[in-house]
Amino acid sequence: MTQTLDRSTRVTELAAAADRIRHHVLTMGEVQGQGYVGQGLGFADVLAVVYKDLAHYRPEDPEWAGRDRVLLSMGHYAIALYAALAEAGILGTQELDTYGSDDSRLPMSAMSTYTPGMEISGGSLGHGLGIAVGMALGLRFQANPARIINLMSDGELDEGSTWEAAMAAAHHGLGNLICVVDMNGLQADGPTRGVLRIEPVEAKWEAFGWRTVRVDGNDIAALTAAFDSVPADDTRPAVVVCDTRIGRGVPFLEGREKAHFMRIDEHEWALAHAALHDAAEKEH
């Protein structure tokens, strides 16, 4: 928790954490030569803010009862969460080299039974928010002040189960619940706007009774301001809608056409690491 620091120091430190998360994503992607690398790079800034600025947890004791629960509803972002868990000190960076391999604790799709710090098994989409509602009710009932931070993708807005949970969260006044939507605009079959139109997103959440803020999910300063604007509340859950760019931080991947499940050629990994390094240097 760095909230006592002045804002510019805080933002600088979070940006450095986001760069390390991107670095870890590339390291893992290289093990398999493919994967949800674009999402990992695009969501790294949000994860840095969530794990380094927002969530309470004890890295040495991932099961600590007082921890804020961070749910990865979109289990295919596991590569991103492993990177964040390494940055958070819950996983060792060495273990990232086993990503997606036989007998690894880090399967390509998130599994709570495999990985310390992974709260739920994802992969089938539109489950996280319902579980989050149950956790929020349960913790509140037990007078546990911990919060639930449900991370989900824009594609999950297609699933009816998401909206059932959204309605319940507002009905039960779950102010201990924050939902984070990664709006990267891309689904399995192509751009979200072509698969199923989901806009206007903020208006939908607001109509369901949520406090809603929309932010550039690759702008650390804006992200910290957005999360600061939705403190725990007694009456309403909050959603932070984050517009992100697939492949963020590695320019030649940002514009790649087949970006949902990215294949990256052998020779490109070193280029990707170098591009990430250059971009980070330029910013700091």
Interface ranges with another protein (CB under 8 A): 19-20, 23, 27, 31-35, 75, 98, 100-104, 107-109, 111, 114, 121-126, 155-156, 158-160, 187-189, 194-196, 261, 270, 273-274, 276-277, 280
Kindly state the smallest distance separating residue 84's Cβ from another protein, in Å.
15
Residue owning tokens 């514009």: 255
Kindly state the smallest distance separating residue 173's Cβ from another protein, in Å.
28
Cβ closest to another protein, residue 23 vs residue 140: 23
Asked if residue 64 lies in contact with residue 57, where contact means CB atoms within 8 angstroms, the answer is yes
Kindly state the smallest distance separating residue 253's Cβ from another protein, in Å.
16
Kindly state the smallest distance separating residue 200's Cβ from another protein, in Å.
16
Kindly state the smallest distance separating residue 259's Cβ from another protein, in Å.
13
| CA dist., res. 163 & res. 57, Å (int) | 29
Cβ closest to another protein, residue 64 vs residue 261: 261
Cβ closest to another protein, residue 256 vs residue 277: 277
Cβ closest to another protein, residue 61 vs residue 189: 189
Cβ closest to another protein, residue 110 vs residue 136: 110
Kindly state the smallest distance separating residue 155's Cβ from another protein, in Å.
5
Q: Which long-range contacts (CB under 8 A, 24 or more apart) does 105-112 make?
A: 106/28, 106/78, 106/82, 107/78, 108/32, 108/35, 108/76, 108/78, 108/79, 109/75, 109/76, 109/78, 110/72, 110/75, 110/76, 110/77, 110/78, 110/81, 111/75
From residue 80, alpha-carbon distances to 54, 71, 244, 261 in Å are 17, 13, 14, 13
| CA dist., res. 2 & res. 13, Å (int) | 9
Cβ closest to another protein, residue 204 vs residue 277: 277
Kindly state the smallest distance separating residue 197's Cβ from another protein, in Å.
9
Cβ closest to another protein, residue 27 vs residue 224: 27
Amino acid at site 143: A
Q: In a 10 Å sphere around its CB, with 0-12 CB exposed, 13-18 middle and 19+ buried, how is residue 63 labelled?
A: exposed
| CA dist., res. 156 & res. 147, Å (int) | 21
The radius of gyration of the chain's CA atoms, rounded to the nearest angstrom, is 18
